[in-house]
Amino acid sequence: MKITAVITTYNRLELLKKAIKSVENQTLLPNELVIIDDNSIDETQKFCQNLLTKFPVIYFHNNKNMGACFCRNQAIERASGDYIAFLDDDDEWEKDKLLEQKKIAEKGFDLIYTATKFNDKIHFHNPFPITFGNFVGITSTMMINLKILRKIGGFDTNLPALQDYELIIRLIKNGARIKGIKIPLVKYQPSNNINISGSPQKFFVASKIILSKTAFFVKPLQFIGLFRIFAQKFAKSKEFRKTFLQRS
């Protein structure tokens, strides 16, 4: 089984170095690392072009800023592994992440996610009906079967927010088997930048699009799930809360 590690980045070289280091420190090394640079204007390009690692590195620099999910789709196109593992440039993997996920993947699961560690607290949800909310969590925990990911067309770049949640919905609709690992194998570092973490306005636009894709009889349950995600964002993100209250 081959694994492609993917990092998308934009103007955060020092954080990117830490993310790459966490990939290099894996007990089970990936077969390749794909880095998609979303038109960084710092020293990211120079650093990546001279990067020496224990595995092949595919580096691609966008000529203009396209957004994280567009970049992830570029990586999906370029990946040669059987599974693809995403890592945001401001997060880090614990050393056994890929090893533990491979063990589960070998049992026939298509999406394997892990618990996260944030502010010394462990965050994990057992799978529940996806209409009730995003039990998987952040993209950096995910390792996904590349074949099914390509089948569904990757991330929906028309969504201004909630792209990972909507992706999981489509994976489940297409028969993906999902398994969570309760061990915290990702160090989560949420950004305070409202443009990166998502604004309330973008959240509501994305929610409307997701509901438009939802079967009529499922819409009430889907609405509950979106409301739960909103409540979590409101409780955890000071910037999200501040922006919402200012515009209310």
**Hey, what domains does the chain have and what are their CATH numbers?**
3-189 (3.90.550.10), 193-248 (no CATH)
pLDDT for the residue numbered 237: 77
Hey, what are 137's tokens? 């969590």
- In this prediction the pTM is 0.89
pLDDT for the residue numbered 190: 66
pLDDT for the residue numbered 193: 44
Closest CA to 31 of 68, 70, 85, 71: 85
pLDDT for the residue numbered 132: 82
pLDDT for the residue numbered 196: 43
Give the mean pLDDT per block of 10 residues along the chain (248 residues). 98 97 98 98 95 94 95 97 97 98 98 92 87 88 98 95 94 95 90 55 91 84 86 80 72
